[in-house]
């Protein structure tokens, strides 16, 4: 009995252990499966996260565009280029914009030297997006090889030469010669292809930078030398500017070779009048000379003939006026003895005191027969009149020859001539440089014209004149169009001419004429507001961009689209633009 009870107790104990093992196993399986289900749910969540990346992509791209637009506005405000990289945080992400004046997103050179790249990178969470646009430091019209604003409202008729680049002309295109693949645009389609780009405006530029500098230039001073000379009147070819005037009764002056009594003077024509006494009545008249410059005084000489009632009834006078004829004073009086009754030639003279002479002097010979009675019909004649004069000759102190000029060295280039002050070469009259070398950095400023012949002008120099600028005879200006430091900037108010010379840089030309001829090679930007813009001769080349407010007379040569000097942040009033079609996501 006791053994049976013991076995029963032992058997119960064994089954109870098996149950707990089973229970534990079930709970373990439950736990494993629960963990598995949690992982399944996490996979679903992960799928949702992946789909959210699509929305994140949109947000990031929008942020990237915001960066581009922010940078664009800063560029148009002319304030981007000085700041380089700019970072902004917004919308749980940030964008970084960068102004790169040299290379594109792949560190390759930009399409043109006057371009820069603006790139924008945006990052939100794990998503990043990059894009870029190109910026030009010139207005849109400089993207063309030639732009004609046609303010004169004519048609474009190319008589020679070749455009190696697209052009736009605001008017009818009658004739144009383009390289293959190049396009001539206008807005009407008359002779050209319709241009849908309506952002082609010729800039209205007051050029304040140049105007202000030119206004600060020294005023023009004309230096003259004077020399004494004489004016001789022999009346052989006419009155030589003399004129007769009546005081009373009548005037009968004329050119004669003989007197009223037919006595030959022997000197050809003399100027005088016949005294015919009662026959024709009395005469009171005179002949007067043209104005002459008696500054400094001098001597008047002449020949004369007279036969009359001496001294009173027939009176001859020589008089002088120092104010052009308003007031007269007697130099030789009727009773001074010169004109006593005689048929013979007499030589007269009179002195103009140095203290009296003026630049507005006249003399006159006056004849008064008073009663017209009893006189000899011989008359009164004068000839071979000589008067003193002062000749004024301008002296050109502005000619500089065979010199090397460094604009950083102050002082006069030549005595009485052009001089340098604070890196500005200037003068008070026309400047002419022959066979000179000029190095910068600096400015050449002059109110009058500036002419360069066979000169070498280095980069980093600005040249400006209120008159004309002439570059000729194998001159060379600038080195390349990489930057302003390697090129030359020219501003001329009246005219610009380049003849058989090379120019790298920017030309601003106003006034009458912009003229490229005889093998001129111009690399860079040309802004012409001149009424006449002319390109001629076979070997004349313009490589860059030529924009004209009016039209273009293109007879020969080549105009090719090319690089322009990089002028971001310039002083010249030239605004940059965004280059259409340059947007790229990468």
Partner 1 sequence: MIEMIIVIATMAVFGALTAEILSNATRVYASSLERQQFISEARSSFFKIARELSWQKSFDGFSESTNKKVVINTEDENVISYEMRSTNDIINTNSQISQINTELLTNKINYNNSEFSYLDADNNPLDIQTQSHEIKLINLKVNFIDGDHSIVFNSDVIPYGLSIGKFMSYHE
Smallest distance, partner 1 to C-beta of residue 63, A: 13
Task: Tell me if 185 sits within 8 A of 192, measured CB to CB.
Answer: yes
DSSP 312-354: TTSEEEEEEESSTTSS-EEEE-TTSSTTSSEEEEEEEEEEE-T
DSSP 427-460: -SS-EEEES-EEE-SEEEEESS-EEEES-EE-SS
Q: Is 311 left (phi over 0), alpha (psi -120 to 50) or beta?
A: left
Task: Tell me if 546 sits within 8 A of 561, measured CB to CB.
Answer: no
Cβ nearer to partner 1, comparing 168 with 515: 168
Cβ nearer to partner 1, comparing 35 with 373: 35
Distances (CA, A) of 221 to 393, 397, 408, 560: 14, 11, 25, 42
What residues pair up with 408 in beta bridges, in sequence order?
none
Cβ nearer to partner 1, comparing 84 with 580: 580
d(CA 66, CA 88): 10
> Of 17-25, 211-219, 370-378, 496-504, which part binds partner 1 (CB under 8 A)?
17-25
d(CA 372, CA 112): 94
Cβ nearer to partner 1, comparing 37 with 177: 37
Q: Does 14 bind partner 1 (CB under 8 A)?
A: no
> Of 58-66, 376-384, 438-446, 503-511, which part binds partner 1 (CB under 8 A)?
58-66
**Interface pattern 183-202 for partner 1 (x via CB under 8 A):** x-x---------xxxxx---
Cβ nearer to partner 1, comparing 5 with 50: 50
d(CA 514, CA 477): 17
Q: Does 34 bind partner 1 (CB under 8 A)?
A: yes
Q: Does 44 bind partner 1 (CB under 8 A)?
A: yes
Q: Does 179 bind partner 1 (CB under 8 A)?
A: no
Smallest distance, partner 1 to C-beta of residue 574, A: 18
Percent helix, strand, coil in the chain (nearest 5)?
15, 40, 45
The contacts of residue 215 (CB under 8 Å, 6+ apart) are: none
Q: Does 523 bind partner 1 (CB under 8 A)?
A: no
| From 1, 5, 9, 50, residue interacting with partner 1 (rule: CB under 8 A) | 50
Q: Does 583 bind partner 1 (CB under 8 A)?
A: yes
> Of 14-22, 255-263, 274-282, 295-303, which part binds partner 1 (CB under 8 A)?
14-22
d(CA 240, CA 236): 9
What residues pair up with 443 in beta bridges, in sequence order?
424, 462
Q: Does 71 bind partner 1 (CB under 8 A)?
A: no
Task: Tell me if 521 sits within 8 A of 585, measured CB to CB.
Answer: no
Cβ nearer to partner 1, comparing 471 with 547: 547
DSSP 463-498: EEESSEEEEESS-EE-S-SSBGGGSEEEEESSEEEE
| From 6, 40, 90, 373, residue interacting with partner 1 (rule: CB under 8 A) | 40
| From 14, 43, 108, 227, residue interacting with partner 1 (rule: CB under 8 A) | 43
Cβ nearer to partner 1, comparing 59 with 88: 59
15, containing H or E segment: helix 2-76
> Can the peptide bond before residue 548 be classed as cis, meaning omega within 30 degrees of 0?
no
For the segment 133-172, give every residue that binds partner 1 (CB under 8 A): 133, 140, 143-145, 165-166, 168
| From 11, 84, 111, 241, residue interacting with partner 1 (rule: CB under 8 A) | 111
Smallest distance, partner 1 to C-beta of residue 441, A: 33
Which residues of this chain interact with partner 1, rule CB under 8 A? 15-16, 19-20, 22-23, 26-27, 29-30, 33-34, 36-37, 40-41, 43-44, 47-48, 50-51, 54, 57-58, 61, 65, 68, 72, 111, 133, 140, 143-145, 165-166, 168, 183, 185, 195-199, 561, 577-586
């Amino acid at each position: 009995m006791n053994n049976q009870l013991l076995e029963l107790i032992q058997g119960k104990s064994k089954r109870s252990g098996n149950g707990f093992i089973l229970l534990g196993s079930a709970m373990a399986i439950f736990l494993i499966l629960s963990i598995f289900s949690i992982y399944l749910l996490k996979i679903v969540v992960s799928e949702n996260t992946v789909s959210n990346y699509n929305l994140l992509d949109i947000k990031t791209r929008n942020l990237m565009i915001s960066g581009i637009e922010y940078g664009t506005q800063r560029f148009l405000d002319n304030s981007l280029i000085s700041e380089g990289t700019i970072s902004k945080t917004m919308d749980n992400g940030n964008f970084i914009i960068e102004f790169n004046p040299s290379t594109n997103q792949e560190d390759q050179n930009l399409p043109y030297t006057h371009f820069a790249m603006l790139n924008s990178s945006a990052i939100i969470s794990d998503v990043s997006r990059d894009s870029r646009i190109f910026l030009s430091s010139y207005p849109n019209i400089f993207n063309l090889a030639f732009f004609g604003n046609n303010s004169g409202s004519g048609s474009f008729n190319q008589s020679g030469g070749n455009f190696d680049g697209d052009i736009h002309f605001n008017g009818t295109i009658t004739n144009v010669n383009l390289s293959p693949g190049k396009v001539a645009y206008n807005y009407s389609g008359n002779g050209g292809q319709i241009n849908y780009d309506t952002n082609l405006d010729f800039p209205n530029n007051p050029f304040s930078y140049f105007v202000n500098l030119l206004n600060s230039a020294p005023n023009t001073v004309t230096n003259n030398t004077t020399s004494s000379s004489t004016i001789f009147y022999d009346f052989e070819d006419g009155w030589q500017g003399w004129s007769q005037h009546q005081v009373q009764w009548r005037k009968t002056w004329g050119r004669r070779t003989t007197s009223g009594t037919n006595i030959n003077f022997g000197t050809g024509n003399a100027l005088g009048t016949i005294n015919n006494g009662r026959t024709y009545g009395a005469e009171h008249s005179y002949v007067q000379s043209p104005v002459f410059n008696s500054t400094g005084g001098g001597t008047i000489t002449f020949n004369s003939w007279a036969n009359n009632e001496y001294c009173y009834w027939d009176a001859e006078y020589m008089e002088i006026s120092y104010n052009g004829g308003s007031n007269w004073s007697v130099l030789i009086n009727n009773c001074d003895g010169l004109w006593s009754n005689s048929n013979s030639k007499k030589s007269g003279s009179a002195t103009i005191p140095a203290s009296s002479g003026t630049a507005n002097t006249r003399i006159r010979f006056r004849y008064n027969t008073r009663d017209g009675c009893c006189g000899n019909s011989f008359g009164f004649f004068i000839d071979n009149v000589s008067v003193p004069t002062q000749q004024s000759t301008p002296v050109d102190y502005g000619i500089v020859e065979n010199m090397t000029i460094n604009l950083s060295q102050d002082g006069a280039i030549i005595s009485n001539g052009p001089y340098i002050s604070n890196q500005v070469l200037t003068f008070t009259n026309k400047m002419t440089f022959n066979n000179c070398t000029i190095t910068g950095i600096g400015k050449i400023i002059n109110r009058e014209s500036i002419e360069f012949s066979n000169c070498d002008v280095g980069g980093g120099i600005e040249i400006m004149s209120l008159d004309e600028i002439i570059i000729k005879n194998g001159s060379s200006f600038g080195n390349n169009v990489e930057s302003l430091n390697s090129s030359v900037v020219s501003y001329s108010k009246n005219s610009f001419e380049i003849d058989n010379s090379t120019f790298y840089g920017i030309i601003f030309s106003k006034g009458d004429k912009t003229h490229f001829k005889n093998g001129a090679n111009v690399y860079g930007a040309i802004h012409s507001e001149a009424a006449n813009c002319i390109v001629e001769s076979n070997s004349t080349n313009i490589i860059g961009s030529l924009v004209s407010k009016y039209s273009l007379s293109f007879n020969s040569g080549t105009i090719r689209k090319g690089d322009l000097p990089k002028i971001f942040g310039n002083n010249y009033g030239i605004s940059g633009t965004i280059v259409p079609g340059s947007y790229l996501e990468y």
